[in-house]
Amino acid sequence: MIPSGSIQSLAQAAASAPADGADAAATGWIAAAIVGSAWLGSSLLRARSQRRLERALLDDESSLREDERFPLLDRLASASMRRVRVERQRQSRAFDRLAEIDRILRATPIAVIALDHMQRVISANPAAERLLGFDETSARGRLLQEVVRHPALNRSISNAFAAEGRFDGELHLELEQPVEVQICCEPLQTESQPPGLVVSLVDVTRMRRLESMRSEFAANVSHELRTPITNIKGYVETLLQVGVDNPAQMRRFLEIVHRNTVRLSGIVEDILTLAFLEEPEAKQSLARLPMPAGDIVRQVVEDLGSAANAKSIKVVTRLQTDTLVLANRSLAEQALANLVSNAVKYSGEGTQVTIEVADEGELVRLSVEDQGPGIAAKHLPRIFERFYRVDKARARTQGGTGLGLAIVKHIATIHGGRVDVTSQVSQGSRFSLFLPRAHTREGARAVG
Amino acid sequence: MSNAKAQVLIVEDEPEIAELIEFHAERAGMQARKVHSGRIALDVIKREKPDLIVLDLMLPDLDGLEVCRKLKQSEDTRTIPIVMVTAKGEEADVVAGIELGADDYVTKPFSPRVLMARLRNVLRRAGIADEPAPTTDRMVLLDGKLIIDLDRHEVMCEGRKTDLTLTEFGILHYLASRPGFVRTRDQIISAVHGKSTVLSSRTVDVHITALRRKLGSMAECVETVRGVGYRFSEGTRDEE
């Protein structure tokens, strides 16, 4: 006979056994069965009561006969039963949790691949399939190098295994489109085998492109600002400290200082305009009114007439008097003025600049056509970028800021319009500004 | 250099800046010539072997560092001193230029006076550099206030003996052997420890700090050139 103390302790042990899933539940139940069988002393009874006990523990306590309901066994049985119930709940929660993790891994844009210690694929999520172009089901169990052949990636993974599973870095992968990915490896701990590897890949191509555009812009700004400042500082210092005896030379130096001051203020002005146009609120707060497109053209021609006359350039306008645009007057004028002033700047003496207004469905086209040198096709996609220069030396002699066309594009965009350019080398260019069309003059009087 | 005017080649694509440098160079008695592109510069330099090159690093066709590399690779042009004209925030380029062998630099917007002081210094040093390295075992610097005794591996600082570690001594000797020349951290490391060293460039800062502390009142002779490296003072400072 087993002393009751030890039975109690067994029962306690069963009830407080570590919650390690089914194993613990089995331990509790086996303990109960052993205790029960010792108490009843018959192998036949033992087998039967064991089954009954099992049933009772798992399903229905009341199926036990009265004479089986020994108080001690009872306590033991209900304790084990509680454990089983808890374990079942635990298991079902664990399944739910697994399903949840699976859903998360499927949804994340981060490519995640799990490898075992032999570099065989354990699993991979859809983002990994998409990024690296493979099928998870056929990849499972195969070496990663067999599934995807990217030397940079395979090298990083070898490095990670060499460094106890830890590796961070950035890779350039030559896929259909070249991509920049950030790779992060962490060891994958398993109970039975040496650690594997969890590889996470984040596509940072877009971010890197934006960063390089931003730093290119910053470098351009600083270069464009520094050049006039260097000239102003250098020539003023020369005039102040060295003194220049020759009056003609003195005048020339002052002219250089003046020209660079104008250039500097032009650049600052344009940068501020761009900054204003880029503010998210700019579009909402923009005061727009219906107005005849012809009014905008006439104003610009009046403002720039003298510059055109100076080069004997004939400005021809082809207007449709009844075409209305919905625009902010001063911005629309500035955009068109930038186009006309470029046309005048880059065209030869005695040529013609044609400004035309034409309906294009819901938009109105204001186009400026010149007979200048034209622009090679390779430059056309980039010509509206800030500081993009087709010919650096020529742009400098013309005194441009490099921001004029970027401003035109931004003005078109915040109006809900667009820009366009066509050009033939040595024949001329046609720049177009599209503004939304207005159908009624209502409110136009308020423009004054 | 004889009595003939020093020939200066100005490589600068901004015409007004080039004209400014030309004006000052000629005022200082040099013979200046301007070119606006890196490729033209290489042609002209090969043909005319100027005494000094003022090189803008941001050039439209061939960038200034590439021009510098090509000049230093060629036996004919290797010894022609180069003063780089660069922009603030481009210290990485300055470091690269100096490691390629450029002699000095100014940043835009520069003061014409400072630039001319640099040009004169570089011309003067170029004259010295043609002579063989001093064979003397003692370097007497800063009017005798600093004496480096190579034989006894000793430094006398205003008459008192100063104990330096091997590395500190090496750095001081390296910088002092070419006063006024900027040296990058990497140059200092390879000069003092040999090229194979795995010391990080920041350890140089630690050694310099210790060296300055030991030099006491003479600490200022080791100048920091921010973002670039260090140099030994020339005694007479440029006005900036």
CB of A256 less than 8 A from some CB of B:
yes
**Does the residue B110 lie in any domain?**
yes
Nearest CA in chain A to B61: A392
**Does the residue B239 lie in any domain?**
no
Query: Do residues B122 and B33 both lie within one domain?
Result: yes
Instruction: Specify the fold of A108-203.
Output: Beta-Lactamase (3.30.450)
Query: Do residues B98 and B160 both lie within one domain?
Result: no
B206-233, pLDDT tens digit by residue? 889 988 988 888 888 899 988 888 998 8
Lowest mean pLDDT among A192-196, A306-310, A416-420: A192-196
Domain A286-447 class, CATH top level: alpha beta
Nearest CA in chain A to B23: A238
- What is the per-residue pLDDT for A395? 58
Residue B98's CATH number? 3.40.50.2300
Residue B225's CATH number? 1.10.10.10
- B16 and A242: CB-CB below 8 Å? no
A294-343, pLDDT tens digit by residue? 999 999 999 999 999 999 999 999 987 789 999 999 999 999 999 999 99
Domain closes at, from B129, B151, B169? B129
Mean pLDDT confidence for A373-379:
90
- What is the per-residue pLDDT for A66? 60
- What is the per-residue pLDDT for A7? 42
Asked if the model's pLDDT at residue A410 lies above 90, the reply is yes
Asked if the model's pLDDT at residue B96 lies above 50, the reply is yes
How many A×B Cβ pairs under 8 Å? Answer: 56
- What is the per-residue pLDDT for A127? 92
The pLDDT confidence band at residue A72, using thresholds 50, 70 and 90, is confident
pTM > 0.80: no
Report yes or no: B61 and B39 within 8 Å, Cβ to Cβ: yes
Q: How many domains does chain B have?
A: 2
Asked if the model's pLDDT at residue B165 lies above 90, the reply is no
Residue, of A251 and A77, whose pLDDT is higher = A251
CB of A242 less than 8 A from some CB of B:
yes
Query: What is the CATH number assigned to the segment(s) A211-278?
Result: 1.10.287.130
Nearest CA in chain A to B114: A234
Domain closes at, from B100, B129, B158? B129
Question: Which residue range forms the structural domain that includes residue B103?
Answer: 7-129
Mean pLDDT confidence for B47-72:
91
Residues in chain B within 8 Å Cβ distance of A243? none
Query: Do residues B81 and B175 both lie within one domain?
Result: no
- What is the per-residue pLDDT for A4? 44
Q: Where are the domains of chain A?
A: 4-104, 108-203, 211-278, 286-447
Residues in chain B within 8 Å Cβ distance of A388? none
CB of B24 less than 8 A from some CB of A:
yes
Mean pLDDT confidence for A118-137:
91
Query: Do residues B23 and B125 both lie within one domain?
Result: yes
ipTM: 0.70
CB of B193 less than 8 A from some CB of A:
no
